[in-house]
A and B are shown apart, each in its own frame.
Chain A
Amino acid sequence: MTFGDLTYEAFAFGFFTILTLGGALGVVANRNLVRGAVWLIVSLFGVAGYFVLLSAPFLAAVQVLVYIGAIGILFTFAVMLTRSMTNLNERYNQQWWIAAVTSIALFGMLVLLVILPVFGEQETAVSDVVATTADLGVALVSGDAYVLPFEVASLLLTAAMIGAIVIAREEE
């Protein structure tokens, strides 16, 4: 569907880019860390929107469920539990301008030297026939696909869960 030159998809892409990058800037540039956690959640919503645009609805739902519903809450809890008594701390450490120059240089290099030369001409996808969520499910447990990383990932999650509980437990 078109509305003049601005397709709905381009409008959605612009909206999600504003959410993602604006939220990211809010995370790195805020004074109040709770607001920073809220900006992180906004940014993660934007990334979920990207996944929807890229025909990956399963990943979008998992992004909201895992990142926003679990990790976002984890960060909010951590921020609330580690409030320092004085809020006079500076936001940035002493090398912030080197960090700014480095990250701008990194972004410039990535865009000008890698992305635009190699992928600048590709306008459309290779094909519009997309594999479905059922194919992802089969790939994750199929013997000649990704069942081994799947099982190792579950072991990793179990170890992380036990480790986090043990580390953060009160000494009795």
Chain B
Amino acid sequence: MDRTIGTLIKIAVPIVIGVVVILILNSITSASCLNDFEGCLVDGGMDTDLAGLIAISLGVVLVATFPLLVTILLIWIERKFAARIQDRIGPNRVGPIGLVQPLADVVKLLGKEDITPAGADKWLYNASPVMMVMSVLLIWAVMPLTPYHYGIDLEIGILYFIAVASIGTLAVIMAGWSSNNKYALLGAFRVVAQLISYEVPLALALLVPVMLAGSMSMVGIVEAQAGMWFLFSAPIAAFLFFISSQAETGRAPFDLLEAESELVAGYNIEYSGMKFAMFFAGEFMHVFTNGVLMAVIFTGGWYGPFAREAPLLAFTYLMLKSGFWYLLSLLMRNALPRVRIDQLMTFNWKFLVPLSIANLLMTAFLLKLVQEGGLAPSPEEASDFIANIPQTVVLFLGNVALAAFVMTLIRNQGREERLAEDAGEPSDLTVTPAPAGD
């Protein structure tokens, strides 16, 4: 009994303290130079253009530095979480509960010798890790962090995200080629095949929230979820986006390419020291960015009670939601076995792509039906929860029907395979080993 109370107190007290601190900080920062930096500079007598330039540069530096700093925390979260799932403790020597461990990692990687393999193309070899990290950082430019603070509100935010994600594949090929190592090159080919295959269901799944919101801009998508999260209107699209984004970053169960036994054939085998650290940090940052994107596109971003009055609270909501999705992807990583490369390709082209096309067609059809049938909420009541329910129910039922149909197909196919196997014929799923002595 007192253990329960003790645990409850351990959870509740930090939350209460945290909320109070956030509200105090918010009231301090809302009326000062921190919110209107440019105005502050101009009042101080600086030239208007120069003040504008400095304000924009400061914004750019802040938006670009935030994910890099968060990555340091993510390394610790990842290792502790993985350790607890595997029934061990995780890093606990360096600093209280191991919090300083990432810094120790960074110091170790900085101290390593920075070699370039003989015969490698020096310029490309050094530029590939930079391109990899760049392709992740550029996504943060369009991320709406609070109702009033975001890098830029592009009219084509979602398309920008997909375009920037395809730069990462270029970085992988350059890394594999410039290492002057044919196993690295082969590994890079396989990684690129996986990455470009999973871009297709990613893009098709992202079209569904664009249709529901009527705009490709990230800020527009967050604003359109005022009434109802898109997670409830389009659960299949959320599932598709989650799975495809896990495969895009090379995260388990799709991490064939960085598995310990495959490292001889990995594209980053010739990298050591800080350059390897950039690939490593880029991958962590990419997983967190995917979590934030899941939160922004499907679960309402910074929405929550009192979000508009207290921007810091809105930011906290965003971080909580993206932390949930991030921990979900960590759970997937630590609990599921790895898939083979041919299973990966089959899964994508024979399951995800037809499902995403069918989902898109069905959602378009149902949305038009809802709008013609008058069930859609009118623009005045778009942010009312009750008014959004009819449209959400129709779309949700459509998704459920599609999922049931797909499950029936899979179940029938599975039954056929099982019957064929019982009758003694080999199936596609088993791999007959090559006869020895070939």
Contacts and interface: CB of A to CB of B under 8 A. Distances in A.
Q: Do A and B bind each other?
A: yes
Interface stretch (A66-74, A107-115, A117-125, A161-169): A66-74
B170 A68 contact: yes
A132 B185 CA distance: 42
A73 B155 CA distance: 27
Interface in A83-102: none
Interface residues of A, number: 24
A80 B49 contact: no
B169 A65 contact: no
Contacts of B49: 1-3
Interface in B29-54: 49, 52
Nearest to B172: A73
Contacts of A58: 155-156, 159
B177 interface: yes
Interface in A15-50: 32, 34-35, 38, 41
A61 B192 CA distance: 20
A132 B196 CA distance: 29
Contacts, number: 64
A1 B56 CA distance: 13
A100 B186 CA distance: 39
A133 B160 CA distance: 13
A3 B47 CA distance: 11
A69 B169 contact: yes
B154 interface: yes
Given A34-B121, A41-B170, A133 B177 contact: no
Contact of B159 (A1, A38, A41, A62): A62
Given A65-B166, A68-B167, A73 B196 contact: yes
A73 B169 contact: yes
A53 interface: no
B124 A38 contact: yes
Contacts of B177: 34, 76, 80
B121 A69 contact: no
Contacts of A35: 121, 124
Contacts of A72: 170
B155 A133 contact: yes
A87 to B, nearest CB: 13
B43 to A, nearest CB: 19
Contacts of A34: 121, 124, 177
A2 B47 CA distance: 12
A64 interface: yes
Contact of A1 (B52, B121, B192, B216): B52
A80 B169 contact: no
Nearest to A69: B166
Given A1-B52, A133-B156, A70 B163 contact: no
A61 B185 contact: no
Contacts of B124: 34-35, 38
Contact of A57 (B154, B167, B189): B154
Interface in B253-273: none
Contacts of B52: 1
B130 interface: no
A73 B156 contact: no
Contacts of A61: 156, 159-160, 162-163
Interface in B144-165: 154-156, 159-160, 162-164
A32 B121 CA distance: 10
Nearest to A3: B49
A138 to B, nearest CB: 13
B173 A76 contact: yes
A65 B192 contact: no
Interface of A: 1-3, 32, 34-35, 38, 41, 57-58, 61-62, 64-65, 68-70, 72-73, 76-77, 80, 132-133
18 contacts: A32-B121, A34-B177, A58-B159, A61-B159, A61-B163, A64-B163, A65-B159, A68-B167, A69-B166, A69-B169, A69-B196, A70-B196, A73-B169, A73-B170, A73-B196, A76-B170, A132-B155, A133-B156
